[in-house]
A = this chain, B = another copy of it.
Amino acid sequence: MIIDDATLSLLYLVILMAFLGVELIGHVPSVLHTPLMSGANAIHGVVIIGSIIVMGIADDTVSTILGFVAVVLGTLNVVGGFVVTNRMLEMFRRKE
């Protein structure tokens, strides 16, 4: 079995993140499940970074157009995700 260093690092990261995930999510009250899911959803919008890079280095029209679409989709994910999460969490604002 052959494992290169990068993969190994990745493996470590994945496993540690999994532990961290378990510890972090462990005892979340179920009312928070949806906001949490929504927040996580916004976070994976980080994929937008990839699309920005792709677009930033694209030089043919097709790539630029596809990249444009990708950035739009990613932004939708990020912005929509965070805003929706924030709205969901309105209910946890303490009333005076």
Contact = CB atoms under 8 A, between A and B. Distances in A.
A27 to B, nearest CB: 11
Contacts of A12: 13
Contacts of A19: 20
A24 B16 CA distance: 12
A46 to B, nearest CB: 15
A13 B11 CA distance: 12
Interface of A: 9, 12-13, 16-17, 19-20, 23-24
Given A13-B13, A16-B16, A23-B23, 7 more contacts: A9-B9, A12-B13, A16-B17, A16-B20, A19-B20, A20-B23, A23-B24
